[in-house]
Structure 1
Amino acid sequence: MAATNIILGYGETLTQPFKLNRGSGDKKYPYNIAEQRESLGKQLGRLMQEQQAQPAIIKPRGESVARFTLHPAFLAKTHHPNGLLKASGLRCVGSRSAYVVPRNVASSRQRSGESLFTAALYVAGSDDAFRRLADMLFSTRIPQTHQKAFCRFELVQPFAASDKNYVDETISNRPTLEVVLHASAQDGDIVKAFARYAESLGGVADIARALIVSGLTFVPVRLPASKAHGLSAFQFVRAVRVMPSLRIGGREMRASSIAAPALPALPAIDTSLKVAVFDGGIGHSDLSQWVQETVLPGAESTSAAYLGRIGKTEKIGR
């Protein structure tokens, strides 16, 4: 059997150490630091001017929250500007998805003028911290890592009240609102400051019923819908919306007919034993000797499909 001839292309490279370049090379940046000083410098200037004009009552700890939108080419966690923010005294308190039309694209796969998916970071800090960030942007001694971090931003903007308010102000009644705050379990002072601010608008924030989930605090607030926009001006508010109501399916609930048992004439044997039953209600006083009915606010009315009593037969819906 004939031997197989192995042909090596560019075999001469094996006569000495040879480094094989892998990957796509260094990350291509859409902007250089000079371009960002021109663009972000103006944006930071407008942001700081607006922050300094804000009243103290909406700035707990003297801090504001701004929205920093990343260029779509830098969504990976390795590109997160944590180092830059920490060096200036700022911190990221949240993020959300967003779309932006970048001034310049960083890849041939992206088309100029196209709206692209990206992320918006919610950045909190004092006026001095935002001023330090602006000073770092124009510093000639800024480290290369921070220069690259600046070049990953597309927009720096205030987090405006209009961007947080999801309440239809045409609602005439006094609804219960749900306010989402950028506040974790360690930020009780921010929640209390918000309650004082809501009170100044004529509302009541029920912080005793606040729910904390993943760095966000959900607070019920009683306030006219017409004042929801003012509530959104509080800097650490993430969103204001009408409290969602419990929804029941459109189909009729099935009911079973059960013969009513004969009621005893004696009182309860042990009055210290108590059981809470969440049901459609009683609607009569036949059981008043043993049962105390509590109707929660807003549940005064019900549906005949869920509660019915005909003669000695109870219609019980489950």
Structure 2
Amino acid sequence: MTKRNFLLGKGERLVEDVAGVRGGAPKSHPYTFSEARDRIAPMLTRVVRGIDQLPDAACPDNRAVATVTLNPEYIAKSYFPERLFESVGLEPVGSRPRRITPQKRSKGREPEETITTELFVMGSRDAFRAWRNELPRWGEDVAGANELPTIEQVAAPSPRDKIKGRLPKSGRTVFEVVLHSDSGTGSNGIIPLFKDYLDEIGIDQPLDRRFSAGGLCFVELEAPVELADDIATFTPVRALRQMPSLRMLRPTFRSSRVAMENIALPAAGPVDPNIRVAIFDGGVPKNHPIGKWVKSIEPPGIGKTIGDFQKHGVGVTSAFLFGHIDPAKPVARPYAPVDHYRVLDTAPGQNPHELYEVLARIDQVLVEKQYQFVNFSIGPRLPIEDDDVHAWTAVLDDRLSRGTTLATIAVGNDGDGPSKGGFNRIQVPADCVNALA
């Protein structure tokens, strides 16, 4: 018997309006307004005491930076205390993750350690003093007062809080200084102010080698180690560390049982010569067999080539062109040609300025050229830090944020290093969010 499919006529008569339920239950707060006000008041007193003790030269335009740590239950963007900051005259200039155990949780739950957000806020010292003086008299009707319960802690970072890692015991060294820049001064405006402060403490440096990204300014500074605390006292300083060395390239070249000269490479050119690819590495020797698909480019002023670096450059470039090479099978035709930029010219660790020199060569290409694919198999010999960003990560993420370039990054790893101090962690810039690592 043939199966019959029935049609339902005038089905619209069965439709009726349904009132949707918007949102959920009211937000349960860990602190009442009064509790939040009474908790924050003594914290603000300590903050004002700390910033009032700073030298005037360390507070450009009488402005200071403090930290505001959010209660972990308020890290969603919808809970950001924007109106509160506006009402007290403070400007958020940065943030970072932080692990804390809050004093209280909502609904009577037991506090436990978790990740939250620590905000950096900048404002005049007068604004901090006014907030301290007025807060005890605040009522819930004050603009932004209802956002007080979102705050867990308010503090003024000390110079020691800003110094990252170990420093040499004495002598001159090259520092990496990370500076906050607000909407008023910007990255270009903060540099003259920082230079004036350095002059005050006896440091005369041009500060020419620097990068700006994401509201931060990364500056190379050569100075006596003994002045590290004085440098970090400048209130817009977010972090101060000894400049890392360039990551050692291990292995220095791709292992292969068959020499490149004995491999029959394809006779044809790339499948699509219009695809634009850039590789930043140690260079490719002249007249090398892969030169048919590779354009070698050397930035102005770069030093002499190093054999091991060129071997690494050939290994990285051939991996892109041909993938894994099986001597028993024909080598595949490359999909695209490669622009290989040689950005290395000294052995890692020999030149304390090398890290920013190499990044400057890369940055110039990313700003001036348009590539669909790029690769980085080099970087700082520095484990990723959970609470701060490095210049390589910030700059590359900023340049790649246009969304028109796919970048791949080789994950550096000193896995044989001690876990204490994080030396066995993956390395910068593998923590880029706009690249594949």
2:172·2:222 contact (CA, 8 Å) conserved in 1?
A: yes
User: Runs of 5+ in structure 2 lacking a partner?
Assistant: 1-16, 262-285, 287-299, 308-344, 353-437
- Could you say which residue in structure 2 is the equivalent of 1:211? 211
* Counterpart in the other structure of 1:279: 304
Range moving further from structure 2, 163-172 or 94-103: 163-172
* Higher RCO by CA contacts (8 Å cutoff, separation 6 or greater): 1
CA distance in structure 2 between the partners assigned to 1:205 and 1:181 by the alignment: 16
The letter for the 1-side match of 2:232 is S
Aligned-residue offset at 1:95: 0.6
Residue number in structure 2 paired with 1:111: 110
Relative distance call for 1:200 and 1:135 in structure 2 (3 A) is: closer
Q: CA separation in 1, counterparts of 2:28 and 2:41?
A: 22
How far off its partner does 1:164 sit?
Answer: 0.7
Q: Equivalences for 1:179-194 in 2 at 5 Å?
A: 179-183=177-181, 186-194=186-194
| Alignment-derived partner of residue 164 in structure 1 | 162
Q: How well do the aligned residues superpose, as a CA RMSD in angstroms? A: 3.4
Q: Structure 1 residue 46 and structure 2 residue 46: aligned?
A: yes
Contact in 1 for aligned 2:187/2:215 (Cα 8 Å): no
Matches within 5 A, 1:241-256: 241-253=241-253
**Cα deviation, residue 170, structure 1:** 3.4
Look up the match of 1:264: none
Secondary structure of the equivalent of 2:73? coil
Q: Which residue of 1 aligns with 2:24?
A: 24
Correspondence list, 1:301-316, <5 A:
none
Equivalents in 1 of 2:59, 2:30: separation in Å? 35
Alignment partners' CA distance in 2, 1:147 and 1:237 = 29
Determine the structure 2 residue equivalent to 1:147: 145
| One-letter code aligned to 2:59 | K
Partner deviation per Cα, 1:196-245 (whole Å, 9 max, x = no partner):
22233343444222211111001111112232122111100010011122
1:78 Cα deviation after fit: 1.0
- The verdict on how the C-alpha distance between 1:28 and 1:243 changes in structure 2, with shifts beyond 3 A counting, is same
Provide the C-alpha distance between the structure 1 equivalents of 2:226 and 2:107, rounded to a whole number of angstroms.
46
Whether 1:62 and 2:62 are equivalent positions in the alignment is yes
Separation in 2, partners of 1:253, 1:203? 42
CA distance in 2, matches of 1:136, 1:80: 22
Q: Residues 38 and 23 of structure 1: is their aligned pair in 2 closer, same or farther, counting only changes over 3 Å?
A: same
Contact residue 138 and residue 145 of structure 2 kept, 8 A: no
Deviations 1:248-306 (A, max 9, x none): 3133458999xx9xxxxxxxxxxxxxx76643379xxxxxxxxxxx9999559xxxxxx
Return the letter of the residue paired with 1:111.
E
The Cα of 1:191 is off from its aligned counterpart by: 1.7
Aligned to 1:232: 232
Q: Could you say which residue in structure 2 is the equivalent of 1:77?
A: 77
Q: Relative to total residues, which structure has the larger helix share, 1 or 2?
A: 2
- CA distance in 2 between counterparts of 1:219 and 1:73 reads 35
1:203–1:221: 8 Å Cα contact kept in structure 2? no
Q: Deviations over 1:17-69 (max 9, x none)?
A: 99775543111111112112221111111111221221101000101100111
**Contact (CA 8 Å) 2:69, 2:153: kept in 1 or not?**
yes
Partner of 1:311: none
Alignment of 1:92-107 (within 5 A): 92-107=92-107
In structure 1, C-alpha distance between the alignment counterparts of 2:155 and 2:211, rounded to whole Å: 29
> Residues of 2 paired with 1:245 and 1:154: CA distance?
37
Q: Does 1:33 align with 2:33?
A: yes
More deviation in 29-38 or 116-125? 29-38
The 1-side partners of 2:106 and 2:126 are apart by 32
| 8 Å CA contact 2:180, 2:237 repeated in 1 | yes
What is the rounded CA distance, in whole Å, between the counterparts of 2:19 and 2:247 in structure 1? 64
Bigger CA radius of gyration: 1
Question: What's 2:175 paired with?
Answer: 177
